[in-house]
Amino acid sequence: MSGEAGGGQDQEDLAAAWGAAVDQEQEKGDDEAGSGEATRVLNQAEIDSLLGFDAGPSRESAMSGIERIISSGLVAYERLPMLEIVFDRLVRLMTTTLRNFTSDNVEISIDVMASQRFGDYLNSIPLPAMLAVFRADQWDNYGLIVVDSALIYSVVDVLLGGRRGTAAMRIEGRPYTTIERTLVERLIGVVLGDLKAAFEPLCEVDFRFDRLEVNPRFAAISRLSNAAVVSRMRIEMEDRGGRLEVLLPYATLEPVRELLLQQFMGERFGRDSIWETHLAEELRQTEVALDVVLDQQVMRLSQVIGLQVGDRILLSTPPGAPVALRCGDVALFEAQLGRRESRLAVRIDKVRPGPPGPAEDAA
């Protein structure tokens, strides 16, 4: 009896296990059905709306979605670490020079330094503003300095003796006067002088003021699709101030690109000073064969073939004339031929100059 009772208990336990498994499968199926309703497939119109490709008059002017991702990827140019150091040095120099220029307390800070398409930058300039075009003589290209309206009126007010503690008066909607343009040109001259000094530890370059424009279309110094580096600086003079932006196209910086890629001043890529020293020491210990050239003659091949043992070749070099010492085809020294004890010897009198370079050959 006990055996039958034990078998019945096992069957009940097995049935309960099967029932629990069935319930779990049903719950799992319900969950999958519910999640399928929550993650339904989007149609094409909803995908276009999500990615920002809506077609129609109601589309916003700002970019969104995949357009912004593509646009930002196209302007992702290489970083120039040394250029950031140059602009940091520019800020320190301008802080001192503008204090002397305005006789006022000046604080300068860099808001942002980024790469941008030249055409997009021109479209983003807040007008009215003055755009100063300058030329980098050694690089044979141009750059741009933009002075916004707030800084223009602040500089004019400070240089003409405006009261401290009062905001500069702005009169919008009128062209800039000759006095305002002249004072801004003086400010640009100070900035270009500091920019030259900021580049001096890296390379020698002269920045020369070219012209002053108020319309961005007339300040097109590069193709609209080309990339440029923009440094936006904030200039504060107590309660007055404004923004000054320096733009350098990548084409302008191309002659010094290798220098601007350095992480620090004097960095050398791919060079090992220990190996260079060892190689130089080994080269100094290398044995080199020198040939003493007494004379040079041009003979026909038939004459050379016809030479026999005992024939004599007369040298045209007179006694006491200098002879050349060569290593291969390179003439190194001029010497006098003589005799020491029972051997011929030469005494070096002059070192011959090295082979001419490409420029000398062309000349």
Q: How far is CA 53 from the centre of its chain?
A: 34
The pLDDT, as a whole number, for residue 126 is: 85
Q: What CA–CA distance (Å, rounded) separates 45 from 309?
A: 101
The pLDDT, as a whole number, for residue 73 is: 46
How many other C-beta atoms are found inside a 10 Å radius of the C-beta of residue 68? 13
The pLDDT, as a whole number, for residue 70 is: 55
The pLDDT, as a whole number, for residue 233 is: 92
For the chain, the structural domain boundaries read 81-260, 287-307+314-362
The pLDDT, as a whole number, for residue 50 is: 66
Domain with residues 287-307+314-362, CATH architecture: Roll (2.30)
Strand order across the beta sheet in which 343-351 lies:
291-293, 323-327, 330-340, 343-351
Which residue positions in the chain have pLDDT lower than 50?
A: 1-4, 6, 33-37, 57-61, 73-74, 267, 269, 357-363
Indicate the pairing of strand 323-327 with strand 343-351. Answer: unpaired
Q: What CA–CA distance (Å, rounded) separates 86 from 227?
A: 19
* DSSP 8-state assignment for residue 128: S
The pLDDT, as a whole number, for residue 355 is: 58
The pLDDT, as a whole number, for residue 26 is: 59
The domain defined by 81-260 folds into Chemotaxis protein chec (3.40.1550)
Whether 81-260 and 287-307+314-362 share one fold: the answer is no
The pLDDT, as a whole number, for residue 265 is: 58
166-189 pLDDT tens trace: 555 555 667 888 888 999 999 999
